[in-house]
A and B are shown apart, each in its own frame.
Chain A
């Protein structure tokens, strides 16, 4: 990287901003281009005049990320977090409740006892889940959820969907839940993979919403951030990044760090076809229908999974069970996640009709939901979840390591095509950039001791 031309960072979400702060600390010139009118990407909260706060799905951060960013004092401790599964008209706490059902325990145990499980290569997510959870639990709970969430049959998904994300044992989950109950802190479990979790990490929520995190990272970087400036093209010559195009203008750069979804990046590339295979990568669009309701504690738990085929949604979340301050007293908010395809009937449905269909969906859970209903607000994310299709698993694995183009790097959830949550994005982005920087730059800043 030449020190004179700046590095262009594409995107001002958690990943792009973390990259920017890192470059700033290492005195590497950069310019960050954000397509939207403000920073934060998906890590944003919205407030309405009636005192409700809506997040883009990203509700949970832990005290470790807050401390790393120096915003611990501006975060409140989340006292309780729980999940349950609603199946055939009955609710089961997760994971303990499910384990009280003998069928699931037996199938889970017999699969665990299979000594070959750790050595096996799994052909698909379906075989991974069956081997790890047992057929009953996989077929009735895990796989239907996976399919509703991704929009494709589990047999077409890579085993990595499970194995990269769900490493926590049931024993650890139970231990953390119990410690959480005893300490009155919702111990975070399964949220971080970059750095080991421990029982002293719990969920916290920033005052005024999750946007605080990005505002904090962006402090001191303002002069290098260009808002409402989508990067339209990345120019490559001789397999080396040369320039980016922003608002029709070509700007020479020494490198590009992209957080843009990789199928979009693929289409932005000029002068190389090395990223062509990424154009087929799929992201699952998601709609978040936030139902405003009278009452509190209408769901059995903060998150309720709905694997039954009779539901349009696969997951509902009542955030005020964990974060009471997200809705006014006596009221609550239930977020209904619906996976769809851009432009399909659901995606184009107007908000009111969506709210109406959610009410119908949730009546089995909350019989008097119509009397409680006070309107809804819908958020749409066109790239909510990367879908790990088996057909491009090799390309995906390679992509996580390198883009194949000199000077082009990707970080972040959509940039790397991974299911990373914010803490992982934060540590991983820095780790990746450290690998990019010429080592002499890092060394030259060491506190060289000059003897007297």
Chain B
């Protein structure tokens, strides 16, 4: 169900898409903190599906008073995934032609980032992208990485998987807990813009852990709540909420705790630059205030100008350790 790091590279034109069930409320379920189990949480923000308008619901983001995790509570039931990830969802609807220059720039940037995680991989290494969508990152690895690497991906969406397979990628359809993959075989796994979407992050990480060789690494990239965009927009419009699709949102602290719970060693926690949450925060703000659509469009991910500007802008924050995304490298310990 997840999408790629090129998160939200498109948004449907406002009002252009007709959803026959968009006025039917979703079944919502109460949850507790997936990191520490507490249900003691401070309400932070009420939001709506500002981007896709898949339902008439309002959603509550809360912050765990025990560990600081930000999560959606109540959140849509698992049976609603088909609705909250509509067919025009950007992760399913991605092509080079449509985005031209931005696509190519981001591609380069992503490739560089991905490869920096692969430095210690030897020949024939096995890599797995969990929540790979249609295989955006795998294609980059194929293009820019070593030719003898064995690349595989897992995603829940059968459409995305079918698309990726057409391009010759080895993709498995299903959840990481359910797919039948060999234990202790993989050198490196990626979870890029995936963790925030899954219902049970600890269970998913454990499933990935099982597949890793001892000493194998898991690289997680996810939205960072320890940022200025969160502080500024966290009362409603923050892009990282991505209402109602981001169920758990982390900072260095909570992701570290999750690693501990799942018996993985923290190799490194860094933040990286991304303009996406800045641009989307402003986008949501404008949508919520019924701004003119020409203005809203200046803050979409099709706008080179705002993406460029906020990439530079976020660089300043990243320099102080508060970049928009968290990048966490975890390792499966050797003993056990």
A contact set with B: CB distance below 8 Å: 25, 63-64, 66-68, 70, 72-75, 182-183, 195, 198-201, 427, 430-431, 434, 442-443, 445-447, 449-452
Contacts and interface: CB of A to CB of B under 8 A. Distances in A.
A70 B43 CA distance: 13
B262 A68 contact: no
A342 B37 CA distance: 48
A75 B282 CA distance: 26
B42 interface: yes
Interface in B19-50: 25-26, 28, 30, 32, 34, 36-40, 42-43, 45-46
A434 B40 contact: yes
A187 to B, nearest CB: 12
6 contacts: A73-B26, A200-B235, A445-B37, A447-B261, A449-B202, A451-B263
The range of chain B's interface size is 35 or more
B200 interface: yes
A430 B43 CA distance: 13
B203 to A, nearest CB: 8
B59 interface: yes
B56 interface: yes
Interface in B190-206: 200, 202-203, 206
Contacts of B56: 72-73
A452 B210 contact: yes
Interface in B171-213: 183, 200, 202-203, 206, 209-210
B36 A66 contact: no
A200 B37 contact: no
B145 interface: no
Given A446-B37, A451-B263, A72 B202 contact: no
B38 A442 contact: yes
A431 to B, nearest CB: 8
Contact of A442 (B26, B37, B263): B37
B125 interface: no
A72 B46 contact: yes
Counting chain B CB atoms within 10 Å of each CB, the highest count among A70, A73, A198, A449 belongs to A70
Given A72-B57, A73-B56, A449-B206, 20 more contacts: A25-B39, A64-B60, A72-B46, A72-B56, A72-B58, A73-B55, A75-B58, A182-B289, A198-B235, A200-B236, A431-B40, A445-B37, A446-B36, A447-B200, A449-B202, A449-B263, A450-B206, A451-B206, A451-B262, A452-B209
B59 A67 contact: yes
B143 interface: no
Contacts of A443: 37
A129 B183 CA distance: 71
B37 A201 contact: no
Nearest to A443: B37
B37 A64 contact: no
Interface in B56-71: 56-60
Given A63-B58, A70-B74, A449-B263, A200 B45 contact: yes
